[in-house]
Amino acid sequence: MTISETSKDSSTALDGAPEIAYTIPGMAQDAGAQVVKNLQERLNALTDLHLTLKHVHWNVVGPNFIGVHEMLDPQVDSVREMADSVAERISAMGGSPVGTPGHLVAQRSWDDYSIGRAGTIEHLGALDLVYQGVIADYRAAIESVGELDPITEDMLIDHSTDLEQFHWFVRAHLENAGGEVSSSGAKSEVQAAKQAGEKRFGE
Ligand SMILES: [Fe+2]
């Protein structure tokens, strides 16, 4: 399922951008609507990410438990703040942020995080893939809103600085002294977890 396949409800215009009655002074309304559409996608990604990080916080077991368990809570808090700033930007731009779980599941283009209780290194391997997806989409969003709204672009750049640092924290557990990352090349979270579990560079 893709976002474009599921964004055809009556509250959306032809190109998937929402109907808005006003936007930021000095901005064209259709540009505002495009930015709002992009921000809703960031909100979906951030909400999914902070819930997934908490799920991992609860489910990690084994060596390095306390380090990984405690590393994740500040990431949860920070990503929740990012979600709040994105949602409030949508409101400031004349849109209506949607934060309900059903909407998120219907709109997202990725599957639910699929790993339950597992070793720290396996979860970190899977989180490497999660962060890769979120960060790549953030880069694309920065590119597309940059032409329309430098204020939103600036906010997304700030978020990316932290997201890319959090990704490094995760990846550093998966890396050996030669710079090889155990989860590299994996195409799914399960595969990334398996590779990380087999190579165990971080332990
Ligand atoms: Fe906790």
Cα-flanking dihedrals φ and ψ of residue 61, to 5°? -140, 165
Full-model pTM? 0.90
CA of 54 to the centre of ligand 1 (A): 8
Of 35, 32, 45, the residue nearest 3 (C-alpha):
45
200 band by pLDDT with thresholds 50, 70 and 90? confident
The full set of domains in the chain, from first to last, is: 4-199 (1.20.1260.10)
CA of 194 to the centre of ligand 1 (A): 25
For 90, residues 6+ apart whose C-beta sits below 8 A from its C-beta are: 36, 39, 40, 43, 96, 97
CA of 59 to the centre of ligand 1 (A): 10
CA of 69 to the centre of ligand 1 (A): 8
User: Strand, helix or coil at 147?
Assistant: coil
CA of 67 to the centre of ligand 1 (A): 12
Distance between CA atoms of 132 and 138, rounded to whole angstroms? 10
Distance between CA atoms of 159 and 42, rounded to whole angstroms? 10
Tens of pLDDT, residues 5-39: 333 343 444 467 888 999 999 999 999 999 999 99
CA of 55 to the centre of ligand 1 (A): 10
